[in-house]
Amino acid sequence: MSAEIIDGKAFAAGLRARVGEQAARFNAASGRQAGLAVVLVGADAASSVYVKSKGKATVAAGMASFEHRLPADTSQDDLVALVDRLNADAAVDGILVQLPLPSHIDERVIITRIDPDKDVDGFHPVNAGRLATGLHGFVPCTPLGCLMLLKHVRGDMSGLDAVVIGRSNIVGKPMAQLLIAQSCTVTVAHSRTRDLPDVVRRADIVVAAVGRAGFVKPDWIKPGATLIDVGINRTDAGLVGDIDPVCAEVAGAMTPVPGGVGPMTIACLLRNTIVSACRREGVPLDEAAI
């Protein structure tokens, strides 16, 4: 048995194309482009590359990209002032402040300053609350991408056992909420979970987001389970995920690293931005179609 490899790169390309089509309709209906503002503080190499790729993808989808690159010694007050200006800017539909921020800036202050209705990263507590209670909000891009891939492979997930390994606010917690909304029976596992391999063996769906290379082992996997690997770990052998690749010999379907979840994150950011623009301008949009 060998797992179906879930091609996140191809799925993300399709999603970006659908976003581009909706962006063109939005332009025609509103007389302007949807706009995404990305803020980078400092010159972290990985963050800088990521911000550049977000900008290129935004423009390629037919939307306006507003980049704000600030020096590492920018004060918290100055960053708050920029966020306030972007909140008030009618041309900006989505705001993303690239994390991590320099140590002298409190990320919680910045995240909670962003207008929840422009918070296309889905990190604001208001959007976390909306997700938990089933209300209309924005879902963090990585777990949203994971859900799209799962629905593509599994279809109806009602009644399935799902284990999310990792409890971060960015991936683990929102992923669990999304799976609950799909009527899965969800366990959130973490560093203090007892008998973790036994917990994972019960799962029809495993989402691993712990940041430890090859952490999930083949003998943990229920035959035929679907595995979503969120981990991106740099090793001497290159980029590897949190799930041992040998798990593909047991699983029914599995995302690769790279080329699985990663491409979905930016595609879902674009998706959230066009959704925000359409909501703000009252332009009709079938959100389930993108």
Q: What is the pLDDT of residues 172-195, one digit of tens each?
A: 999 999 999 999 999 999 989 999
Same domain, 243 and 145: yes
Same domain, 160 and 248: yes
Q: Is residue 256 part of a domain?
A: yes
19 within domain boundaries: no
Instruction: Judge if 149 and 250 occupy the same domain.
Output: yes
- Any idea which residues carry the catalytic annotation? 54, 98, 121
Query: What are the tens digits of pLDDT across the range 225-250?
Result: 999 999 999 888 888 999 999 999 99
The per-residue pLDDT of the chain, averaged, comes to: 96
Q: What is the pLDDT of residue 288?
A: 79
Element (H, E) at 132: helix 125-133
Helix (H, G, I), strand (E, B) or coil at 38: strand
With a cut of 90, say whether residue 169 has pLDDT above it: yes
Query: In this structure, is residue 215 part of a structural domain?
Result: yes
User: Do residue 104 and residue 146 come from a single domain?
Assistant: no
**Average pLDDT score over residue span 202-214:** 97
Rounded Cα distance between 56 and 263, Å, is 14
The percent of residues in the chain predicted with pLDDT above 90, rounded, is 92
Query: If DSSP codes are grouped into helix, strand and coil, which group holds residue 78?
Result: helix
Quick check: 33 pLDDT over 80? Answer: yes
Q: Per-residue pLDDT tens for 36-53?
A: 999 999 988 888 888 999
Residue 139: pLDDT over 70 = yes
Global confidence as pTM: 0.95
Rounded average pLDDT over 53-68: 96
87 and 36 in a common domain: yes
pLDDT at 1: 61
Domain that holds residue 62: 31-116
Residue 105 pLDDT > 70 = yes
R_g over Cα of the chain: 19
Domain annotation covers residue 287: no
- Please check whether residues 186 and 90 belong to one and the same domain: no
- The count of structural domains within the chain is 2
Which CATH number goes with the domain that contains 163?
3.40.50.720
Judgement on whether residues 49 and 146 belong to the same structural domain of the protein = no
> 189 in a domain, yes or no?
yes
Is 222 inside a domain boundary?
A: yes
12-23: per-residue pLDDT in tens?
A: 999 999 999 999
Report pLDDT for 287.
83
Q: How far apart are CA 35 and CA 165, in angstroms?
A: 34
End-to-end CA distance of the chain: 33
55, 163: one domain: no
Mean pLDDT of 140-168: 97
Tens digit of each residue's pLDDT (9 = 90 or more) over 81-91 = 999 999 999 99
Q: Where are the beta strands (DSSP E) in 42-144?
A: 64-70, 94-97
pLDDT at 2: 87
**Domain check: are 61 and 110 in the same one?**
yes
| 149 plus 257 within the same structural domain | yes
